[in-house]
Amino acid sequence: MKVLTQFERKPLLFQDPEFIISCADPSLFTAAFEKIEGALDKGYYLAGFFSYEAGYNFEKKLRKDKQYDFPVIYLGAYKAPQQNKINFSRQAPADCPQGLRLNITRKQYSLDIGAIRDYIAKGDVYQVTYCIKLLFKYCGDPLLLYYQLLKEQPVPYPAYIQTDRFHILSLSPELFIKKKSAHLVTKPMKGTWPRGNGMLPDLIAPLRLKYDRKNRAENVMIADLLRNDLGRMGVNIKAPTLFEVARYKTLCQMTSTVTARIEKNIPVYRLFSSIFPSGSVTGAPKIRAMQIVSELEREERKIYTGAIGYISPARDMFFNIPIRTLLIQGNQGEMGIGGGIVWDSTSDGEWSEGLLKAKFLTDLAKAPFAPA
């Protein structure tokens, strides 16, 4: 197992683990965290991922009595990371993904958006992050594809994971948590806007996103949820910045920053059970939103919207939220595409936003795709 994180332009390479902590069985979930604590106590670094479905095991109302096909926890135990610098100019062009298709029809997508709006109208939820998948075939070198995608659209929290069974290529622009001693930062992302066509429209696009009423409402709703989640385990909860807009090659995205002071040596289970998965990928209120996600989404999300990163022996942590993230198993690939659905959402608008979020991959494929 090899894990490469390049968070905030500070690459770390974890390879040749002493052992791997893996869990796909909910009955072994708590025991996996006991192994995590034991490995940290012995001075190991842990690097890998938590799948979205790990979040179901923190809440009795959500727990499922099933064996998952894909691990909900997969962490290698390493003596220490290596610094790893990559020279993109030396990388050969990657093969293109082939046979792109969506896992849902346009008609069914509209029905699902309508169902979510019905739940909102009844007062069950305020927002639900609803996801579909882009499926494809890939027969080339996954690492080259990762390099090429990152070169085409640099992001602040990219990561690459290689195992005997699968490869994960994460081109994530979103931070889940960064914990240094007793200080914890999270930056939930909500709000998407297309880049402008032409110099002036492109300069204005970030401002249009920043002051768009619908996107601001979504963003502050999730920032409030994160403040509440951090309050379950920390103190001095603050939101020092709201509505920050970053511009990427194909789109603009908006984040807010929420911080807290927590116990320096907080058990990993307690930390994750308080805030995982991030409210930015579930909706609000979180538990009811996750129930609706489980009802409407027809496939497990797996790595998509989970967390990729590492934990040091000192309990410092750094994890992204794996959006814009490809999972390749054999020659079959998938990438989740999601968006926050609120009362003002329309099926057409959310569909277009999803296609925009996938553009960094579909542009590389240079081929049209259609719903399943």
* Domains, the chain, ordered by start: 2-84+96-371 (3.60.120.10)
Which of 92, 83, 98, 71 is closest to 146 using CA atoms?
92
Q: How far apart are the C-alpha atoms of 185 and 199, rounded to whole Å?
A: 34
pLDDT in tens, 238-283: 999 999 999 998 899 999 999 999 999 999 999 999 999 999 999 9
Supply φ then ψ for residue 317, to 5 degrees: -140, 150
Beta bridge partners, 155, equal none
Q: CB within 8 A of 38, min separation 6: which ones?
A: none
Span 115-170, pLDDT tens digits: 999 999 999 999 999 999 999 999 999 999 999 999 988 999 999 999 999 999 99
Contact 77/14 with Cβ under 8 angstroms? no
The 10s digit of each residue's pLDDT in 214-243 is 999 899 999 999 999 999 999 999 999 999
Least confident of 1-10, 58-67, 228-237: 58-67
For 164, 273, 282, the CA distances from 288, given in Å and listed in that order, are 36, 16, 9
Segment 197-206, tens digit of pLDDT: 888 899 999 9
Per-residue tokens: 53: 């479905």
137 CB-near residues (< 8 Å, 6+ apart):
97, 98, 99, 331, 332, 333
User: How far is CA 202 from each of CA 61, 195, 199, 248, 254, rounded to the nearest angstrom?
Assistant: 45, 6, 5, 11, 15
Task: Answer whether residue 368 shows pLDDT above 70.
Answer: no
Distance CA 242, CA 244 (A): 6
Predicted TM-score (pTM) above 0.85: yes
Burial (CB count <10 Å: 0-12, 13-18, 19+), residue 160: buried
Residue whose structure tokens are 């000192």 = 314
Is 348 exposed, middle or buried (CB count within 10 Å of its CB: 0-12, 13-18, 19+)?
Answer: exposed
- CA 247 from centre of chain: 18
- According to DSSP, residue 30 is labeled H
Express as a percent the part of the chain with pLDDT over 70: 96
| Whole-angstrom distance, CA of residue 153 vs CA of residue 359 | 10
CA atoms within 13 A of residue 22's CA, in its CB half-sphere: 13
Kind plus residue range of the DSSP H or E element containing 251:
strand 251-262
Angle between helices 213-231 and 268-275 (to 10 degrees): 150
In a 3-state reduction of DSSP, which class is residue 97? Answer: coil
Q: How far apart are the first and last CA of the chain?
A: 33
In three-state secondary structure terms, 295 is: helix
Catalytically active residues, by annotation: 174, 190
Task: List pLDDT tens digits, range 38-58.
Answer: 999 999 999 999 999 999 999
* Per-residue DSSP letter, 53: G
